[in-house]
Amino acid sequence: MSELFRAMVNVVSIVAIPLMLLVFLGWGIVKRVKVYEVFVEGAKDGFNVAIRIIPYLVAMLVAIGIFRASGAMDVFVLLLSPITNLIGMPAETLPMALMRPLSGSGSLGIMTELMSVHGPDSFIGVLASTMYGSTETTFYVLAVYFGAVNVKNTRHALPAGLVADVFGMLGAVLICRILFGI
Amino acid sequence: MLNYVWISLVVIGILVAAGTDFNADVKNRYRNDMIMEGVVSISKSPTTARATYEGTLVIDRSAFNALYGVQTSGEEIRLPVVIQSDLEIPRMTFSSTAEMPAIWKEFAKYASTKDKLTATVQSLVASEDGRTAKVRFVREPIRFVKFKAVTQAALDYAAIAVNIAIGLIGIMALWLGVMKVAEAAGLIRSLTRLLTPLTKRLFPDVPPDHPAVGAMIMNIAANMLGLSNAATPLGLKAMEELNKLNPKLGTATNAMCTFLVINTAGLVLLPATAIAVRAAAGSSNPGIIIGTSIFGASCATIAGLIAVKLLEKLKYYKKDLIIESGPEGGTKS
């Protein structure tokens, strides 16, 4: 079942981009759009959008970089571990849950290390990889998406995003305990 | 909230770094100013042309482990060294090599010359045949490790941010061009109409046939398929379209926040990165996490949507949307 699903999604994600290009541009020709001219007109904006993001991304990544390099994560793990122990979340996976919203490369590193230490098919290994797939790098997405439109007051986006992260992690723990429980 | 979280990351980071460095110094955790002993087997003795010994320093592993309170295993520690003997106090230099114990490698990163540890030689007694020499040495003091790491991280990440942004230019241009063609052909509008019942509920402030809806749908679809190269440009395009509906530039609208939460929850049908790492780690069933990840991400998405819809009703967040009347109009943020 999961193998079939995996194969199907795999195929779709491989052909999706060529297909999208074909259909979108082909449909343009059918509708007598001057495809080349219109494409270039649209593409022109790419540079500006990317450059606009820079200050937002620098602010966000530098703060996250300082936090990571200082080892402050260990302090948070220490503070939060009594709570996570209560819900049956192994202490080893707590850094993973905390790092996931902050840094994509950081959480990838933690996941890889947990798997090499505990084995990919151990409970910790399965839980860590489920956590990795259960949410996105909230702070990065926030900086990039709002940076692109020069939005500085992000209002309730961050709290709601963090609620999503917390529930993503709790959901990962719950489903892994039910299916592969200890 | 972002203001407070942002400053907290910086302040907590620096305070923890200060605390860790202070603590390490007080307890001399890095064992500065301690005399160590070893035997150098000399491969090159000083000549008239140069005043350096070159050779391999051999340190007793158990003494090393006891000094640092670590558990490294193996025979004795062998490190290539260069001893400069024409100085008033002879100096020994270790380069960071594979044989160097992890703790020293860490020290080398924060040494006065990067990746080179130095030590002052207290005594050097050559054996009768001149092949070996007994040395007593004191390693250079290591201090402010976390402060140096924090400094390095700040500089590195500033550069990484620019690299990421520059790397976006190309794919950004590609997808913005494609989207412009699709828009002109009326394709986005048809796609939008298809999902109107859903998008009307999620984004009540956005007209159902607005180009923003089309871009958001495409972004979410690309995200679910794991096409991050296409998803980000499409998402940014969606944000630009949403911004055209924004009465108060510089402040996020309800629709923007809702869209952002869907993105940060990151529902993916095939968590390709996690599967690849599992396969590389030798898992017998790397794909076993597909179902669990979809479940986890669904929890995140649903909880996020509920939170975003509840929070937008709070007076605290509503008041940000009010456009202050005055000579400067609504562009102030």
> What tens digit of pLDDT does each residue of B226-236 get?
888 889 999 99
Domain boundaries, chain B: 31-142, 153-331
B147-150: list long-range contacts, CB under 8 Å, 24+ apart.
Answer: B147/B17, B147/B18, B147/B21, B148/B110, B149/A69, B149/A70, B149/B17, B149/B110, B150/A66, B150/A69, B150/A70, B150/B13, B150/B14, B150/B17
Q: Are B146 and B16 in contact (CB under 8 A)?
A: yes
**C-beta atoms of A33 and B181 within 8 A:** yes
Average pLDDT along chain B: 88
Q: Dihedral, CA atoms, B269, B270, B273, B277, nearest 10 degrees?
A: 130
Q: pLDDT exceeding 70 applies to what percent of chain B?
A: 97
CB contact under 8 A, A24 and B301: no
Q: Which chain A residue lies closest to B191 (C-alpha atoms)?
A: A24
Q: What was the pLDDT predicted at A163?
A: 96
What pLDDT shows up at residue A1? Answer: 65
CB pairs under 8 A between A and B: 394
Six-digit token string for B245: 């509906």
At residue B301, does pLDDT exceed 70?
A: yes
Report, in this order, helix, strand and coil percent for chain A, each rounded to 5.
80, 0, 15
Residue of B nearest to A7 (CA): B270
Collapsed DSSP state (helix, strand, coil) of residue B148: helix
Separation in Å, CA of A84 to nearest CA in chain B: 17
Are A70 and B12 inside 8 Å of each other by CB? yes
Per-residue confidence (pLDDT) for residue B330, from 0 to 100: 47
- Residue with token string 């949403």: B242
Rounded Cα distance between B281 and B206, Å, is 46
- Nearest by CB to residue B266, choosing from A31, A47, A135, is A135
Q: Report the pLDDT averaged over residues B268-290.
A: 89
Q: Which residue of B has its CA nearest to A116?
A: B281
Contact residues, chain A, for B233 at CB < 8 Å? 46
Q: For B250-261, what is each residue's pLDDT tens digit?
A: 999 999 999 999
